[in-house]
Chain A
Amino acid sequence: MLDRIIGPRRTRQFQRLLRNGKVTLLCLVLTIVVLRGNLGAGKFGTPEQDFKEIRDTFYQYRGKRTEPRRVLEELQTTIETTSSAETTNNYAEFDINKLFVDEEDDVKKNPNEPYSIGPKISDWDEQRGEWLKQNPNFPNFVNPNKPRVLLVTGSSPKPCENPVGDHYLLKSIKNKIDYCRIHGIEIFYNMALLDAEMAGFWAKLPLIRKLLLSHPEVEFLWWMDSDAMFTDMAFEVPWERYKDRNLVMHGWNEMVYDQKNWIGLNTGSFLLRNCQWSLDLIDVWAPMGPKGKIRDEAGKLLTRELKDRPVFEADDQSAMVWILASQKDRWANKVYLENHYYLHGYWGILVDRYEEMIASYHPGLGDHRWPLVTHFVGCKPCGKFGDYPVERCLKQMDRAFNFGDNQILQMYGFTHKSLASRRVKPTRNDSSNPLEVKDELGLLHPAYKAVKVSSS
């Protein structure tokens, strides 16, 4: 057909051109596709990533998350059939996430409003002092040397993603209950997220502020992470040492003020006095917390300013280091960085030495010889991903728990068969004169729990 217009030879050339063009085009498309499939192009990523992204967004609406680290998964896959889900008596078949129903919508926050942890209070010391005077039945000191302390800890109201996480949370709270019973400390176990913007490690700030203001009788608030365990049941915190201080954390002055090291102190276990100074500190501490852009930007600042800090969003510990280092004049004189005993004890250097400690030392020391607190930083037993191997974390948590539990059981004449064993064995014969049995560690009726006898 084209012959008639441009001549046969031209036609043939034209057809050849077309054919070459087709093949060239095909090869081009092929190359692009292969390149894209392997290397990704620009900001669009590979098709696989696209697919993953789409899947993720879809899953998000169903309440699941995928994260790129190592995964801890349940042995049994849940077998759900819509008909049997409501009538099954078998706990393994039930998906707990179907249980929760939020009846009211999230309160939409005005995005233009700057974050505020609460209305500014300036006369808390006066208000509290007045209240204490009017309520002599709720003194802030239970003994002349012993302030009233509230230990605060908590965990998520939803089940852990890790199937044994809740069991370790349970052991951890039992451990705290034991220590606090012996030392006359009250416990508040929090399972509520008070402020959705301050989620994650920042959730403790609105909680602490709320508890300080709602419990004026409490002199010291002791925050303790859920992954920290008491391993010295006999050690009593030296309260008189802190009579002029408002914040006690484990750490080192040089590492915080001189080096600005992000692990110069630890906010997993600290004491905060109930006073105006503390409210002011919380007001200064909170602004880096609100999740989203603020927290990310703050994280970049902290990574820049602090030594050795990896890149991630702002956390409360780094923020505290930065505040103390940059506003030293304002805060440092009321902050005590304690390192003579393990108000927080990093587990990595302690857990292998428990047998040695039992052989050479005794409870009541609180320091490297017999740590007060063993803190399993990085283990994250409730989540799916930790920074350490699962086996090491869980086995060592069992050992630390038993190490502390032995000191409780010895009051009643028992001990664990070994630090790895859940079984207990008696350490003495049952006596028909139980009150004459010696209480070796003096934990049954310690002096700091004595009640002032009033003549009435």
Chain B
Amino acid sequence: MGQEGAQKRGSSTLPTSTAPNGGSRTGRPLRGGSRQIHKTLNNIKITILCGLVTILVLRGTIGFGSLSTDNDLENQAIIEETNRILAEIRSDKDPDDPEDNQNQPTISLNDTYTLGAKISNWDEERTLWLNRNQDFPNIVNGKARILLVTGSPPGPCDNAIGDHYLLKSIKNKIDYCRIHGIEIVYNMAHLDKELSGYWAKLPLIRRLMLSHPEVEWIWWMDSDALFTDMVFELPLSKYKDHNLIIHGYPDLLFDQKSWIALNTGSFLFRNCQWSLDLLDDWAPMGPKGPVREEAGKILTANLKGRPAFEADDQSALIYLLITKTEWMSKVFVENSYFLHGYWAGLVDRYEEMMEKYHPGLGDERWPFVTHFVGCKPCGSYGDYPVQRCLSSMERAFNFADNQVLKLYGFRHRGLLSPKIKRIRNETVTPLQYVDQFDIRHSGQATATSN
């Protein structure tokens, strides 16, 4: 377009270049003036030409006076469509939900809520089943069968970082469980719409216990808890007379009645009648709506330090155990190792740990589990600065991953680095290192008798 214009203008200047000379031959009195005029005209034409050149050059380089091309328009349309799809995926709207959720009646304060049909003879039923099914024993190779249960909401997190750390978290659990022969159930379904949120683990645990009689221990673990000691194994022999293993401090529990005396982010339930009964006793504060709200008020009133919010499973369990102390005879409050390790006091010390200690200890020297309470990467806002949470989670993940990669001869280039470097050269006899470094073979797995 500009080209034609330029040529037009170019052709229009050429004939006129002769004009001043021609013009100067007309009248004598006008000779000086007309020459001036023609000179001025010439100058103007040249100025216009230069101006044109400048504009074209500018347009060619910077897109001065932008006109969006067809390509851009198409891109815009695609971006808008994609944003619409992403927003739809992220929203909780279900295409097949004809009824509004508001129409669903919530359980009123007078109704009693039950987790399921009452079962009273689970121990006998289970023993019978195990006898009939000898090829699904509850003890394999001398170790009781454990099922690790974890989960996350069925939809995408509020932001992409959350899903990425859920992925890293499940990889971390897969690694630990592969090394220690534990099976994993990753739940993404809300089995009971009353018990939503953190309460969702209760119907899930119950369901899994009843469907898998061969499982001796059900181990619930939050999605924001990471294994940081890949060698440490649970000292199950310590718990032969107990049915619930949970991390906490007895003095905080009984003396101070603190709402953080125990942590329900990582605990074990034995598959037995006692556990079913405890779950039944635990559930009533859970149903969402007025029940949960009222229960929340009771808990805040009775537990030290608890802020005012609806009932959560941890406070409810603490309250249950301190009011009905007969449950405590089968509860083991563990704090000799970090079955749950609060992250803030641990994450800065990883380098010091790597220098001074070794995996297998499970305690403050080399924590078994680092639990990122309060970070909430799947939501929009956490209780701590994002930078601190995410860098700490990345460090914990890499700290654990180094222990896994050791067998393969690699480690991370720093606890914040996703890249790895070689720590052992390739060899034609790799099996010597397998014997030395594989946690399952080398006897590094702690045979715990205390």
Task: Report the stretch among A228-236, A285-293, A315-323, A416-424 that lies at the interface.
Answer: A416-424
Binds B, one of A248-256, A358-366, A367-375, A429-437: A429-437
CA distance A445 to B134 in the complex (A): 11
Q: Which of B229-237, B282-290, B379-387 contacts A (4 or more CB under 8 A)?
A: B379-387
Indicate if the CB atoms of B410 and A135 lie closer than 8 Å. Answer: no
Whether A47 lies near B61 (C-beta < 8 A) is yes
- B129 engages A104 (CB within 8 Å): no
* B86: interface (CB < 8 Å): yes
Shortest distance in angstroms between A392's beta carbon and chain B's nearest beta carbon?
Answer: 10
Binary interface profile of B, 343-387, with partner A (CB < 8 Å = 1, else 0)? 000000000000000000000000000000000010111111111
Q: Is B434 touching A216 in the complex (CB atoms < 8 A)?
A: yes
For residue B298, CB closer than 8 A to chain A, the reply is no
State the CA gap A411–B207 with chains docked (Å): 10
**Residue A8 is within 8 A (CB to CB) of chain B in the complex:** no
Given A89-B381, A99-B391, A169-B167, answer yes or no on A38-B42 (Cβ-Cβ < 8 Å): no
Report how far A27 CA is from B134 CA in the complex, Å.
Answer: 96
B396 to chain A, nearest CB (A): 13
Contact across chains for A33 and B119 when beta carbons are under 8 A apart: no
* Residue among A71, A96, A121 making CB contact with B78, cutoff 8 Å: A71
A435 touches B125 (CB 8 A): yes
Interface residues of B in 75-118 (CB under 8 A from A): 75, 78-79, 81-83, 85-87, 89-90, 94-97, 116-118
CB proximity of B14 to chain A, nearest CB, Å: 7
B384 touches A89 (CB 8 A): yes
Q: List 15 A-B contacts (CB under 8 A).
A: A27-B10, A30-B56, A34-B2, A35-B3, A90-B380, A99-B387, A99-B394, A103-B417, A104-B421, A156-B418, A157-B418, A177-B174, A210-B409, A431-B117, A444-B211
A37 within 8 Å of B (CB atoms): yes
Nearest CB in chain A: distance from B208 CB, A: 8
State which of B17, B60, B163 has its C-beta within 8 Å of the C-beta of A33. Answer: B60
Contact status B387-A94, CB under 8 Å: yes
CB pair A99–B416 under 8 Å, yes or no, is: yes
Q: Assess the A191–B119 pair: CB atoms within 8 A.
A: no
Contact with B along A20-58 (1 / 0, CB 8 A): 101100110111011111100000001110110000000
- Which residues 105-154 of B sit at the A interface, judged by CB distance below 8 A? 116-119, 125-126, 129, 133-137, 140-141, 152, 154
A51/B420 contact (C-beta < 8 A), A88-B386, A135-B441 known: no
Point out which of B87, B408, B433 has the most chain A C-beta atoms below 10 A from its C-beta.
B408
Task: Verify if A412 is at the interface (C-beta below 8 Å from B).
Answer: yes
For the complex, is B37 an interface residue (Cβ under 8 Å from A)?
no
Residues on A with beta carbons closer than 8 Å to the beta carbon of B87: 75
What distance in Å separates the Cβ of B347 from its nearest Cβ neighbour in chain A?
Answer: 14
Whether A34 touches B428, Cβ cut-off 8 Å, given contacts A91-B161, A177-B174, is no
Once A75-B86, A94-B161, A177-B174 are accepted as A-B contacts, the answer to whether A103 and B414 lie under 8 Å apart by CB is: yes
Asked if A7 is at the interface (CB within 8 A of a chain B CB), the reply is no
State the CA gap A12–B125 with chains docked (Å).
121
Whether B413 contacts A423 by the Cβ 8 Å rule is no
Interchain nearest-CB distance for B194 vs A (Å): 13
Structural contact, B96 and A420, CB atoms closer than 8 A: yes
- Chain A proximity of B276: nearest CB distance (Å): 10
**Chain A, residue nearest B92 (CB):** A422
Q: A386 to B296, alpha carbons, bound, how many Å?
A: 48
Q: Is B250 an interface residue (CB 8 A)?
A: no
| Minimum distance in angstroms from B251 CB to a CB of chain A | 32
Report chain B residues within 8 Å CB of A420.
Answer: 95-96
**A445/B56 contact (C-beta < 8 A), A102-B413, A104-B413 known:** no
Whether A34 contacts B56 by the Cβ 8 Å rule is yes
Is B60 touching A48 in the complex (CB atoms < 8 A)? yes
Q: How many residues of A contact B (CB 8 A)?
A: 119
Contacts of B49 in A (CB 8 A): 23, 26-27, 30
Contact assessment for A90 and B94 in the assembled complex, using a CB-CB cutoff below 8 Å? no
Tell me the count of chain B residues lying within 8 A, CB to CB, of chain A.
127
B214 within 8 A of A: yes
Which residues of chain B have C-beta atoms less than 8 A from A421's C-beta?
94-97
A170 with B152: CB separation less than 8 A: yes
Stretch of B185-193, B256-264, B300-308, B324-332 that contacts chain A: B185-193
Other than the given A34-B6, A171-B188, A434-B211, 18 more pairs (CB < 8 A) read A26-B53, A27-B13, A30-B6, A37-B56, A70-B75, A100-B418, A102-B417, A160-B164, A166-B164, A181-B183, A191-B168, A214-B407, A414-B189, A417-B97, A424-B191, A445-B136, A451-B136, A453-B137
Which among A182-190, A238-246, A328-336, A348-356 touches the partner chain? A182-190
Q: A26-B53, A99-B394 are in contact. Are A86 and B417 (CB under 8 A)?
A: no
* Cα(A412)–Cα(B421), bound, Å: 44
Q: Count chain B CB atoms within 10 A of each CB in A90, A107, A170, A173 and give the residue with the most.
A: A170
Give B141's nearest chain A residue, CB to CB. A137
Which residues in B have their C-beta under 8 angstroms from that of A2? none
Residues of A contacting B30 with CB < 8 Å? none
Q: Which residues of A contact B420 (CB under 8 A)?
A: 192-194
B57 at the interface (CB under 8 A from A): yes
Chain B residues with Cβ below 8 Å from A210 are 408-409
- Restricting to B434-450, which residues have a CB under 8 Å from any CB of A? 434, 438, 440-441
A373-414 CB mask vs B (1 if < 8 Å, else 0) is 000000000000000001100100000000001000101111
